[in-house]
């Protein structure tokens, strides 16, 4: 069966070294500018030196964020490597909506024991306001609902409508002790809680296990190069 999901590249870990290099070079530039100011007493050197110091702070902050994201993605990779039996991870996937220019991106597609589970990954950082975090989660949840309806419609059109499709949101920086909340009817869980959340949504999705041939076909469809 075809679900309409086209395999895409998994989210890759960002590279911190360009930001580290930019911070180091800008710090050297700032030192040179202030030294030139003390030797010449030209205020222009001091002004540009101050700007360079601000840029060093910006680059250093960005470097910290990159290392934070790399750590979060490494923890997620460890969780995905140890999912319960009967749960298989497919790559990121995209769907094309009829009469829509933008494509819908699903960060992870997991074939469970009883359902196909669409996972959206939220990378909103802890420094963001509660309002901004909630707004981003709501947009992500609505995209997942649209993706879910498209996949269900495609499966139904091919006579495979008995394959349930569900979804959940994974928050990269959410602390495990924060517990599960629901946005637009979808659970929001941290990476550490993903295995138990998958079991829960999979159990609630349907009353019977997927036939092995369906599971195998779903996994084949999600592999790159099968389209």
Same domain, 169 and 199: yes
Residue 156 CB neighbours (<10 A): 12
One domain for residues 215 and 107: yes
Shared domain check, 23 and 110 = no
Residue 3 lies in a domain: no
Closest of 112, 92, 87, 89 to residue 7, by C-alpha = 92
Whether residue 68 is found in the same domain as residue 116: no
Residue 132 has pLDDT above 70, yes or no: yes
Q: In the sheet that 93-96 helps form, which strands lie side by side, from edge to edge? A: 6-7, 93-96, 103-106
Residues 64 and 95 in one domain: no
Range in 4-8, 30-34, 115-119, 196-200 the model is least confident about:
4-8
**C-beta atoms surrounding 72 within 10 Å:** 20
Q: Are residues 134 and 98 in the same domain?
A: yes
CB–CB of 110/119 below 8 Å?
yes
Least confident of 10-24, 32-46, 145-159: 145-159
One domain for residues 127 and 158: yes
Pair 29, 129 in one domain:
no
Q: Are residues 34 and 108 in the same domain?
A: no
Residue among 90, 83, 119, 116 at smallest CA distance from 196: 83
Residue with the bigger pLDDT between 109 and 13: it is 109
Q: Is the pLDDT of residue 8 over 50?
A: no
In a domain, residue 23? The reply is yes
Q: Final residue of a domain: which of 45, 78, 111?
A: 78
Give just the sign of the alpha carbon dihedral 212, 169, 85, 90: positive
Do residues 70 and 126 share a domain?
no
Residue 125 lies in a domain: yes
Shared-domain flag, residues 73 and 123: no
Comparing 223 with 125, the larger pLDDT belongs to 125
**pLDDT above 90: percentage of residues in the chain:** 34
Looking at the structure, tell me whether residues 185 and 216 fall in a common domain: yes
Split into its structural domains, the chain has a count of 2
Question: Who wins on pLDDT, 208 or 49?
Answer: 49
Task: Look at residues 78, 105, 120 and tell me which one is the last residue of a structural domain.
Answer: 78
Percent of the chain with pLDDT over 70: 85
| Per-residue pLDDT at 45 | 94
Domain that holds residue 39: 17-78
User: Could you read off the pLDDT of 152-185 as tens digits, one per residue?
Assistant: 777 655 555 567 889 999 998 888 776 778 999 9
In a domain, 64, yes or no: yes
């Amino acid at each position: 069966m075809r679900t309409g999901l086209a395999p895409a590249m998994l989210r890759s870990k960002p590279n911190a070294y360009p930001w580290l290099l930019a911070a180091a070079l800008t710090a050297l530039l700032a030192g040179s500018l202030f030294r030139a100011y003390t030797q010449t007493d030209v205020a222009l050197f001091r002004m540009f030196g101050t700007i360079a110091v601000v840029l060093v702070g910006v680059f250093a902050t960005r470097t910290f964020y990159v290392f934070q994201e790399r750590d979060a993605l490494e923890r997620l990779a460890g969780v995905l490597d140890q999912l319960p039996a009967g749960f298989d991870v497919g790559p990121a996937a995209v769907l094309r909506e009829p009469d829509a220019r933008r494509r819908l991106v699903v960060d992870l597609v997991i074939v469970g024991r009883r359902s196909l589970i669409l996972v959206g990954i939220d990378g909103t950082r802890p420094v963001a306001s509660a309002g901004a975090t909630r707004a981003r989660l709501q947009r992500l949840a609505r995209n997942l609902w649209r993706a879910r309806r498209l996949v269900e419609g495609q499966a139904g059109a091919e006579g495979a409508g008995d394959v349930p499709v569900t979804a959940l949101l994974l928050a990269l920086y959410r602390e495990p002790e924060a517990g599960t909340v629901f946005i637009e009817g979808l659970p929001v869980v941290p990476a550490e809680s993903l295995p138990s959340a998958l079991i829960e949504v999979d159990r609630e999705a349907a009353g019977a296990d997927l036939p092995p041939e369906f599971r195998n076909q779903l996994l084949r469809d999600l592999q790159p190069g099968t389209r």
